Structures are given as C-alpha cells and as structure tokens.
Structure 1
Amino acid sequence: MAMDPPTTDAGDELGSYSSLGLIVSYSQKDNAKFPKVLLLLSAYLDKIVKENEVLLDSSKIKESTTIFHGQRVPELSIKLYAERIFKYAQCSPSCFVLGLIYMERYLQQPNIYMTSFSVHRLLITSVVVAAKFIDDSFFNNAYYGRVGGISTREMNKLELDLLFSLDFRLRVNLETFRSYCLQLEKEALALVLERPIQIQATNGTKSLICNSSVDETCKHELVCQRYSSQALQGCSW
C-alpha cells in the first residue's frame, strides 16, 4: 500500500521538516537525539507489514519471493533497526524519507508485498542508496553490511537489485518529498497515539546479526572517519 501524497502548503513545510527532526545543524549532529522521523517511519512500516500479512493469510494472493526476503524474522523491531541504522550509518534524517519513497516505488511491482521477512533488508538498502545519492559523505558496503547485520556480498546484491528495479531513477522532486513528510507525520502520528510502538525484539531466531563486537567495529570506524574529516578540513586542494 502506497501513501497518497496530500497537497502541501508552503506554511506547513518548515514546520513539518522541523517536527520530523530533518533540520539538524552540523554542530548539533553528533549530540542529536533520534529524530522523530524514525519513530513515525517505523510506525508506518509496522502498520503496512501487519496489513500485508493479514491480507496474505486471508486470501489466495500469491506472493513473489524477492531477494529481500530472509529465511527468518529478525529479532530487532523495525524501530530499533531504524535507530541502529541512524546511529552507525551517520546519514542525514532526510535519507529515511527518501528511503521510504524508494521502498514504495519498489513495492509497486506485481505480487510483491513487504512483510516481516523483508522489511528490514528493504529499509537498510533504501536508506543506503538514499545516503549515497544525497549525502556529502558515506561509507562502503562492507561497513553498511555490518550495520545492517548482513554480509558485504548480500549488501551489494540488495543494492543492485533495488537500483535496477527502480531503473536507477533516484531523483525525487521537492514537491513529492514535502508531501511524504506531511503524510508520514499525519498517518504515523495517529497510529502512535492510538497504539504505542512495541520496542522490544520480536520473537524468532535472529537472522540479521547485530552483536557487541560488530558494534565496537562500527564505533571504531566512525571515530576514524571523523578524525579523517577533521584532517581534510585543514587541507587545501
């Protein structure tokens, strides 16, 4: 199910961006809390996953298995997974809105539904592609694989599949981006108020592996990147 982008109002634009946590100054970036967009995006994706699974269980619709489908449902909830991506990938909050747009474009293909078995891989891949498209700096896929709990080889395959499925059309006009921000806030906020998001891990065997040793590696690489960035700022090219 895709969002139906509403008509945007110029007066709502900055307020929506600020409310979602998309406007963060560079000096505040390292100390910023998780932006609200993660909570709202997680609520929206959780809602769609549940609706799809009810639909698939109660009908004779045949679902097409994609490269994004894992063999097991990951332990981490969508919310915790989104927060992990934001924490270690260090991408701008806008990447999550852009990632949502990519996800919904991908899901327009026939007989493809986002479920608990595919939502995590779709999310990490879409956000990574968005970060590479709009952010000034980004990591390699080996690092993003560690963040997402998958191998480098799988990360590469997921990225290529998404890019080819989108026909490499990554550009999103400003009006569409604004509309998604407003609609995400309206739809997901209503859901959060009615039913708070479950933040604990879901039941099931872990397939996307996130452990302390991997986290330490990610933290180390983040420190190295910041040091390198500071050093480059003092260079003249």
Structure 2
Amino acid sequence: MGCNSMQLVSDMETPAPETGSIDLDIYRTLGLKELRKGVFRTPRVLMLLSSLLERSVQKNEMLLETTQIKDAVTIFHGLRPPTVSIQQYVDRIFKYSACSPSCFVVANIYVDRLLQQTDIHLTSLNVHRLLITSVMIAAKFVDDAFFNNAYYAKVGGVSTAELNRLEMKFLFSLDFRLQVNVNTFGKYCYQLEKEFADGLQIERPIQACRIKESWSSKDDSTTCASTIAR
C-alpha cells in the first residue's frame, strides 16, 4: 500500500466528530440539501472541494520539488499542466453533468481511497483526470440517472477511449470498493466545512484542462494534454 505524507486530497488533520454529533445543517450549508422551490445557486461544496484539492496539489508539488522525489507516472498523468483552475473544471463538470452535489463528496472519498492504495501523488498533471473519472463513477453509484462515458469524456476534455481506460484503472485500483457509509460521508463533509472555517487562501491557481472562457452550443469542447501512460 502506497500511503504517504504527500497524499493529501483529504487531509484529515483535525479529527472529525462521529456522525451523530455532526450538525445536520452542515449538509445544507454545503448545498447537499434541496433548496426551496425556485431557489437556484451553485452548491458551496464545489468551492470547498476545489480549495482543498488546490491546497493538496500545492503541498504535494512543493514536497516533490524540495525532496527531489520523482513522481510515479500513471495513466492519469498528462504531458503538461493544463491551463484553467480546478474551480473552473469542477464547475464545468457540475454544470454539464447535472449530477447531484453529493457526488462530489463521494468522488473526493474515492480519490482519497485511490491515493491510499497506490503510489500516486495528487499534482497538477493528474488532478483533473482524477476528478472527471471519480465524479463519473460517483454519479453512476449515487444517482438514479446519469450520462454515459462518451458524454463525460466531452465534458472532461478527453476521448471516450481514454476515459474508459481511466475508469477501469480507477475501479481496479479501488478493488471496486465504492460503498460509502453515512459515518464516512459525514466526516468528509465535516472536513470540507473545516476548509471554509480555516479561511484558506490559495496563492496561485492550479491549472487544469484548457477550457474555453465562454461555453457555447456551437463549440463546447475542451482540450487536455495527452496522457503519458496508457
């Protein structure tokens, strides 16, 4: 098992309370509860998850640079860091996949499990592919209705064939352990809420896929750098 100090996608630095003691309002503040009829807004969980991922990527890349540890190249790695922020990428996935906000919490749990099971370090070269793959898998497991791989591939800026390979690698790396119990879900929600309470400031945006600034029905494509490992 390749768990180490650089696998920080969900730094559980502060012990989370047991589910029974978690204020259920946390689910509402994260945007996981249904809003009142006629009220529409972007779930806050997207911003908090993006901030947590950006912080983890920064820590990992700093450690890799200062320790001169060579990162293991995997199927999730691109040839170069792409050019928009994690926040923009997460927002795009949510906008076009129409998956439930809970999928992003579950996806975060899946990525954390993957990092604990492998030697992968979360960096700007792999974070976006891990995101699109984990959210797609979470949507299939959590939601009653979801889009197919070809649609998610277009949203994520990769080919359908590549996303199929990413999905299979991800699932086998998890040993197909996709079940998330209520206690685990609550602890990860608590950690995301702590992200907001800490008031973390991200000094620089981490780059993701090259996505056009404005989305249009005429040309709504993304372009990611080719994956190194197949």
TM-score bracket for the superposition, by shorter chain length: 0.7 to 0.9
Query: Shift of residue 75 of structure 1?
Result: 1.2
Structure 1, gaps ≥5 residues long: 220-237
Computed over aligned residues only, the root mean square deviation of the Cα atoms, in angstroms, reads 2.5
Residue 107 of structure 1 is matched in structure 2 by 115
Determine helix, strand or coil for the equivalent of 2:117.
Answer: coil
Alignment deviations for residues 33-69 of structure 1 (CA, whole Å, 9 cap, x no partner): 2110011000100000000001111114332111110
> Would the aligned equivalents of 2:117 and 2:174 in 1 still touch at CA under 8 Å?
no
Provide the residue aligned with 1:8 in structure 2: 18
CA deviation after TM superposition for structure 1 residue 24, in Å:
1.8
Q: C-alpha deviations, 1:130-175, integer Å up to 9, x for none?
A: 0000101001111101101111111111111101100111001110
Distance 1:36 1:114 in 2: 22
Equivalent AA in structure 2 for residue 178 of structure 1: G
The alignment of Structure 1 onto Structure 2 pairs a total of residues equal to 210
Name the aligned partner's letter for residue 75 of structure 1: T
Which letter does structure 2 place at the counterpart of 1:195?
Q
Specify the code of the residue in structure 2 equivalent to 1:145: A
Which has more helix, going by share of residues?
1
Q: What's 2:176 paired with?
A: 168
SS of 2:92's equivalent?
helix
Query: Which residue does the alignment assign to 2:217?
Result: 216
The structure with more radius of gyration = 1
Match of 1:24 among 34, 39, 43: 34
Task: State the alpha-carbon separation in 2 of the partners of residues 197 and 92 from structure 1.
Answer: 29
Q: Within 5 A, what are the aligned runs for 1:140-219?
A: 140-186=148-194, 188-191=195-198, 193-195=199-201, 202=207, 208-211=209-212, 215-216=216-217
Q: Write the letter of the residue equivalent to 2:111.
A: M
Q: 2: CA distance between counterparts of 1:9 and 1:163?
A: 27
What is the distance in 1 between the residues matched to 2:102 and 2:32?
Answer: 6
Change (3 A) 1:217 1:7: farther
Q: Aligned pair 1:57/2:65, yes or no?
A: yes
Sequence identity percentage: 49
Contact persistence 2:71–2:121 (CA under 8 A):
yes
**Which moves more between the two structures, 9-18 or 52-61?**
9-18
1:73-98 CA distances to partner (integer Å, 9 max, x unpaired)?
Answer: 12120001000000000000000000
Q: 1 CA distance for matches of 2:141 and 2:27?
A: 19
What TM-score results when the alignment is normalised by the length of structure 2?
Answer: 0.82
Normalising by structure 1, we get a TM-score of 0.80
CA offsets, 1:162-215, max 9 Å, x none?
A: 0110011100111000010011110x2145x2426767x84xxx8x35348985
CA 1:9–1:177 in structure 2 vs 1: closer, same or farther (change >3 Å)? Answer: closer
The more displaced of 6-15 and 105-114 is 6-15
Task: Summarize the Cα distance change of 1:213–1:84 in structure 2 as closer, same or farther, 3 Å threshold.
Answer: closer
- State the match for 1:91 in structure 2: 99
